Amino acid sequence: MRLVLASSSPRRRELLARIGVVPDRIASPDIDETPRKGEPARVYALRMAVEKAHAVSREVDEIVVAGDTTVAVGRRILPQAADADMQRGFLQLLSGRRHHVLSAVCVIDAEGRARSRVSDSIVRFKRLGPAELEAYIASGEGLGKAGGYAIQGRAEALIDWMAGSHSGVVGLPLYETRALLNASGYPVE
């Protein structure tokens, strides 16, 4: 049985490697990632993972795994930070307060059955001073990342509290992923 990772994210490949899983093939899904009007963050994250999994071609005896990581403050979904100004706005919003990181995973088994789960982690940044905020932005680390930060890098030192899945905040909840792969006939020890 072959495994297809429906993601071009190097972080997701690295996370899968932590549980001994190496994809046989990588396929980057091309979908519209615009949230629907009034769509709750949890529903959005799950929909994205499912749509990504279905967006890649699957050959006979292939299993597809796809994920989505969504950062939400209240009902507001924070997309990937496209530039420093957007990142600054996100980090100012996140400074000193809790937010949710919803990490969804979808696995389509060899028979075409889709299974999915969502991990909900709560993260709190310390209150960021202007110099800390600008230094983090200058690092370039959070560009292209949901919410404008990468917990696996320098941002980890700015987070004073977290509950939930660290791997989920990075980009793929390993507990849920392992369970879904096992349930789909792809054994992970």
Catalytic residues: 68
Q: What is the 3-state secondary structure (H, E, C) of 19-73?
A: CCCCCCEECCCCCCCCCCCCCCHHHHHHHHHHHHHHHCCCCCCEEEEEEEEEEEE
Tokens of 124: 């709190």
81 and 20 Cβ atoms separated by less than 8 Å? no
Residues in the chain: 189
125, 127, 130, 132 alpha-carbon torsion, rounded to 10°:
-50
**CA 91 to chain CA mean position, Å:** 18
Contacts for 175 with CB less than 8 Å, ≥ 6 apart: 119, 165, 167
